[in-house]
Structure 1
């Protein structure tokens, strides 16, 4: 095996290849076991393979580690990883942990861990060789940082206080580049208490994005751990339809308390969505599409689509209405698709580019009918109007997929999810909608 010393935080996200050079997955963590006197021994890697499945790769299967990539023997057990007693995840559970120096010089926080191979490359073990730690800052300045040091495992001892939460800052920093869906999967893979702790330390906006990618049961669990004021702040950052779905799962008394603490404008949107049944267009829609007048130009429309905080599905088309331009708007005139705008000069008026063949649905239209419309006409979104033909929102393709897929779809492996989506497409064409069902199970450390 080629490598001498590797820092674990730098392994996060590294690509894993088989001997033929084909990509296997990405490293998400390193698994170690403690020993009585010697430093913890590395037993393997936690690798995310296609389908968001986390699997265990024994360290004995790793032939090369370094240069931003890892080479394995190609023999990987693809059963889902499940942590066993005595095993510790370095990134998820060790980074951010408090340690005390044996010489009595004080405490420090673990910011990274180095692992190193000992003995001949053919049979040598991997173990923790060094810890990169940071002492507490000695200045009151917010820009000051404590001194750092490299120490061996034998020079410090872990420090834990009953009831004291382990800092999650270092873990959050390690996963700062992950997309919300990937971070949500990472959190779901942590021990439950650690998941709550890390979620609680995420910034409001980041936590809102992550919650939108989680199953409702985990959303409720995390929100329950937050104080009312913090929970309301997070809900303010969520898309109104996602916030409404989450509040609908809470006891009515707490849901109303949180609505009272939210920003009035955001709370009004959520209350409006809660008036519709979840299996209708009104229950699926979002109330924040792009809405403009018929006199707006292509240049103005494209500028609105470029907003970095806009969901891709909402940027696929622009709604054109009479004033006012906030739902419920003036009379709905039509939609202009993004691709059509690209074919016309910047000064062209959007009112001349309307898709006159796209009929809106009403808020009471069934989710099944909305699904068939999106599939039949290859649409990314469909407008929703009230009895006076005023725009009240749009249903996007991601809203429909969340409705069609089973509640536990995030825990399914890639193969099962592919089969499920194929079934959804097939049954949409025949007019029948698949029922949620099926759970994945099993654990795997090969």
Structure 2
């Protein structure tokens, strides 16, 4: 049935066998090998770009004066936003006791860890001397070269590091019982040793489960406010500036909604093909896709409202520079970016009002791709449209991306998929412990 969260007769033993066999006994197919080779190729290009950047400098990018931020910061904001929805699905729905999150939380947490890790690379690459990135941290030093505590960039560093640490801990704590299951079900000696080390002595004792539940709730409670703080701090990187189009109190909630919007889109874009290739229709059902589509639609409507309010603020404030920046979106040199953003983030999500679309996987996948594309263009437009002209016509200048800008964008995507494809071969894609809890809860309810 469409509304059923688990297949009929799903017992703990069947769940353990179905999920663990994907890792322990399923051989990598031709499709996986092809995808892995492509991801490895783009990752190689990414590494080559990093080497060239470190040896030559950021002059290999199209960044210039006045457009000192461009693809690098757009990639940073885009990647860190993608990770937000994973924490929301896993942690917030865990605190809300929503049972339908059970098949989704593991790969959503994994998506968060990988996306946030990749996003943290771009601010470092953007530095003129990236090997001194640790100067952002307030460590004791003899030269009294302390960071500026009133700068949002410093608090951005703290927010990202805290979010990454909490996400890693929450992800690994959830993996512990499943590592023990893989250890016990493995038939090869190296698998028993490998998963036994990752299980860290988990034996399923009562005290183990008590500590596991307590720590999971504690980390979930820490992760949820970090979802809002991280992207609010990213928003303050822009709104503290005095440039037209940036100096706005709307940015923190706007960025948080945008993070959830693009994050839900990535969840759908990833899970729909994985659901088909690994034949997980019995566990990731249409009701899960329907719920994800509704959440993406809700976040998208907040984004659409923010677009309207941004234009209203520009005209209501009667600031001629803000109005000029808004008009540049409509018919300026980057107007094509603005209209692509509107088409992807406003028009493309409207079919999600219909249940038939929400229950059609290929349609949801197409909408998710358009949203990811639109949100990247939205970040690019936000940065470049405010920088290419400010208050003085004499300081105006356009941005033209180079080949290396594209290498870093697509190379980071390749690295993300390389990590993800390695994960699905080595670790369980679904959380066996959460699915077993859900099966037990449904059994008690029907008894």
Taking structure 1 as the reference length, the TM-score comes to: 0.24
Taking structure 2 as the reference length, the TM-score comes to: 0.24
